[in-house]
Structure formats: C-alpha cells, structure tokens
C-alpha cells in the first residue's frame, strides 16, 4: 500500500487494470467485444442472467409467478458468465446495451420486447401478469417507493461496501468506514420500517420485497461479503425476521438456484428450462451422473 497521496491527473485515461476481483470485466466503454447470438428456448420468456443479488430478483419473480399459478410466466434461464465476458457479446448487448445482468426478452409480443435493469424487469412482469404489485394506490405507491429505494441504495452496499471490504486488492480504512456507516444506516432504515410492517409495502409481499431481499436479506442471513459480524447484522432484529420469513418461501428457494454457478453443487442450476430441472439438473446431479 502506497503512503503517497494520489493526485488525479487533469484528464483520466484507462492505462491499467483496476485490480481486485472482477477487474477483468470493467472497462470505460460500452458496446460488444465479440459476435455471438443468444440462445432462445421453448418458452415466451427468456432470461439471461447470473445469480448475483440482481440476477436473483428476476428468477425469484418468475418462480413466484409460477407458484401463484401463472403458467404463462414459464421461462428459459440461460447462464451469463460475466467473468468470461458473456455480457459483452453482440447478442447480449442487443438485449441490454448496458451489458449488465439480468436481461429479459418477452417473445409473447410482436416485436419481442427487451427489458433490462432488474427493477424494470420486476415492474414489467408485475404489470404484465397483475401480481405482486398492490392495486390500492397507497400500497402501490409504497411498493414502488421501496423498489426504487433499493435501486438507489443497493450500489452503495455492493459497489461501495462490498467492493472495498471484500474485493479490493488492498484494504483502506476510509472507504470501508464510509460505506460501512452508510450500509448500517440503510439497515436501520429497513429495521425501523419493518418494526411496523410485515413486508415492505405493508401486509402483502410485493416486488419491493423481491428487490430488497437478495441484497439486504442476504446480508443479514450471512451470505454476503463475510461481513455479518463486522456489520453486527443480528442487531437489526426486524430485518432478520423479515429475511428469514422470505427465505422460507418455496419460490425464493428455487429462484436463488437459477443461474447459480458457485457454492454447493446441489444449489446450482446453471440453466432452467422446466420446473423439473430443480430436481434433475442441478450440478450435483449432472456431475455425479444422476
């Protein structure tokens, strides 16, 4: 670690990798790096994703719709290996010009509709199928407010705290303290709200919960950045209660597995094309010959 203060140049140029985990996928330009079409399966909805917290949102939403009996929400899920640069293929960039997962193509309409940004995917599916977004104007507004809260707050948890605490090549006190303070403030916001509400928009589970849970639920359940003790997540008792409650939902259990490419093999379903895949196509089954 250098003791020399950094002086920014007059004009920044990209002349070296940023270092740390995921450095190879960061670059200061957009657009494709190579030509490759995306696969298309048998269903009208095609999900291209990876089971990061943002990716989990889309898969959980689709599984919740199926759990609720919406057969038209059946889907194919294709693994996008961001470490390999799959998100920079010409096919993926055509679906999401921002080259981030998740991305969705809806082939039930003509021309097919692309949807990108996880919050937009949740809202699109909620409105398309009339589920998980309250009809009451006040409750709907609350759900959308919390949905957009997550979209704004999440990068401070992931790109801020998570990066400097877990992924940066060196530990620096200033950014870790800065983002730890902000994440704890966010957890306090959630804890105070959930003291008086069963779910984020009141009594009913909604896309607000589906958006917030993979990030903040995962954090308090000890699944993110190995930071549960550091952030004293157990002290946010209402968030923990809410996180455990959602963690028990069958659709959430399935959604967390979709496009998952790390962790226990029995939790990894690299591709999802049928409901039976959860029982027959996880990596423990495939690698074990089962």
- pLDDT at position 102 is 98
- The pLDDT score that the predictor gives to residue 154 is 97
Residue 17: per-residue pLDDT: 66
List all residues 6 or more positions away from 76 whose beta carbon is below 8 Å from its beta carbon.
39, 40, 41, 42, 43, 45, 46, 47, 271, 272, 273
According to DSSP, the residues that pair with 82 across neighbouring strands are none
CB atoms within 10 A of CB 111: 6
Q: Splitting the chain (290 residues) into consecutive groups of 10 residues, what average pLDDT does each group show?
A: 80 78 80 96 98 98 98 98 95 97 98 98 98 97 98 97 95 97 98 98 97 98 98 98 98 98 97 98 85
**Residues 65-108: pLDDT tens digits?**
999 999 999 999 999 999 999 999 999 999 999 999 999 999 99
Q: Specify the CATH number for 137-257; select among 3.50.50.60, 2.40.50.140, 1.20.1050.10, 3.40.50.300.
A: 1.20.1050.10
> What is the distance in angstroms between the CA of the first residue and the CA of the last residue of the chain?
49
Select from 46, 45, 47 the least CA-distant residue to 73. Answer: 45
pLDDT at residue 132 in the model: 98
Residue 31: left (phi > 0), alpha (psi -120 to 50), or beta? left
Domain ranges of the chain: 137-257
pLDDT of 5 reads: 85
Q: What is the pLDDT of residue 25?
A: 79
pLDDT of residue 191: 98
Average pLDDT, whole number, for the chain? Answer: 95
Report pTM. 0.95
pLDDT of residue 109: 98
Model pLDDT, residue 289: 56
């Amino acid at each position: 670690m250098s003791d020399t203060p950094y002086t920014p140049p007059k004009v920044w140029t990209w002349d070296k990798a940023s270092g740390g985990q995921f450095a190879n996928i960061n670059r200061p330009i957009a657009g494709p790096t190579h030509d490759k079409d995306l696969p298309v399966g048998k269903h009208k909805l095609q999900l291209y994703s990876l089971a990061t917290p943002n990716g989990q949102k889309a898969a959980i939403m689709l599984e919740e719709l199926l759990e609720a009996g919406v057969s038209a929400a059946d889907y194919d899920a294709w693994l996008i290996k961001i470490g390999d640069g799959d998100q920079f293929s010409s096919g993926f960039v055509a679906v999401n010009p921002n080259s981030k997962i998740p991305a969705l193509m809806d082939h039930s309409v003509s021309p097919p509709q692309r949807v990108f940004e996880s919050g937009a995917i949740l809202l699109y599916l909620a409105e398309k199928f009339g589920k998980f977004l309250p009809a009451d104007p006040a409750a709907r507004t609350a759900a959308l407010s919390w949905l957009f809260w997550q979209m704004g707050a999440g990068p401070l948890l992931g790109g801020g705290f998570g990066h400097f605490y877990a992924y940066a090549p060196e530990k620096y006190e200033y950014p870790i303290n800065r983002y730890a303070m902000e994440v704890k403030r966010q957890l306090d916001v959630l804890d105070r709200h959930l003291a008086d509400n069963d779910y984020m928009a009141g009594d009913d589970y909604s896309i607000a919960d589906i958006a917030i849970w993979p990030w903040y639920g995962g954090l308090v359940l000890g699944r993110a950045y190995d930071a549960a003790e550091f952030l004293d997540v157990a002290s946010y008792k209402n968030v923990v209660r809410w996180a455990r409650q959602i963690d028990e939902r069958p659709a959430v259990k399935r959604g967390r597995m979709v496009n998952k490419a790390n962790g226990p093999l029995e939790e990894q379903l690299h591709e999802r094309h049928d409901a039976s895949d959860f029982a027959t196509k996880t990596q423990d089954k495939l690698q074990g010959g089962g």
